[in-house]
Amino acid sequence: MQTLFVFFFIIIGIIFGVWKNWKQFYPTLLFWIIGNLLYESLLYNHRVWEFHPVGIDHYFLPTHPIISMAIAFLVYPFVIVVYLGRFPKSLINKIFWIICWALLFQVVEMVLYYYQSITHHFGWSLLWSFIFNLVTFLLLAFHRWKPWVAFLFSIFFIVFLFIIFQPPIPT
């Protein structure tokens, strides 16, 4: 299941990505990947969501860490060139664009959830995933133009999530 979505986003990126500007998007891509890697390392023993191989995933993406790395290093680069490459100019269209991408990721997660390719733990839910997706795509937009705003807001959001879900602090 995850393998199909990796290919889906690669195809979307190839068709709709603005590849001539990939160097401009690279710092934001790194910001996104680092956020993912922080989640994976800080919450290694207390994941609020966890990926599971389904179907052909057993051959290509057999474990949560490998699925997560495929998402970070294959999906994110192909998404970022579409998301930032086609980012609208007017405020209403920007808001619509952020919501559309959050909804797209939400639909993907709902399919994965239905097929048990993702599970939620410690109070996480599809609603929290949608909020997380909205914040993620908002932060990516901010990072592209004002990285310090994205970093600051990320810190506040991480603290907020730690307060809500109370994972053990890694030692």
For every one of its 171 residues, what pLDDT tens digit does the chain have, with 9 covering 90 and above? 899 999 999 999 999 999 999 999 999 999 999 999 998 988 888 899 999 999 999 999 999 999 999 999 999 999 999 999 999 999 999 999 999 999 999 999 999 999 999 999 999 999 999 999 999 999 999 999 999 999 999 999 998 998 998 887 766
Torsion of CA 83, 32, 105, 52, to 10 degrees: 150
Residue 79's CB is within 10 A of a number of other CB atoms, namely 23
In angstroms, the CA 33 to CA 27 distance is 10
Cβ contact 96:23 at 8 Å: no
pLDDT at 4: 95
pLDDT at 1: 86
pTM as predicted: 0.93
According to the 3-state scheme, what is the secondary structure of 57-75?
Answer: HHHHCCCHHHHHHHHHHHH
Domain spans in the chain, listed from the N-terminal domain onward: 2-165
List beta partners, residue 118.
51
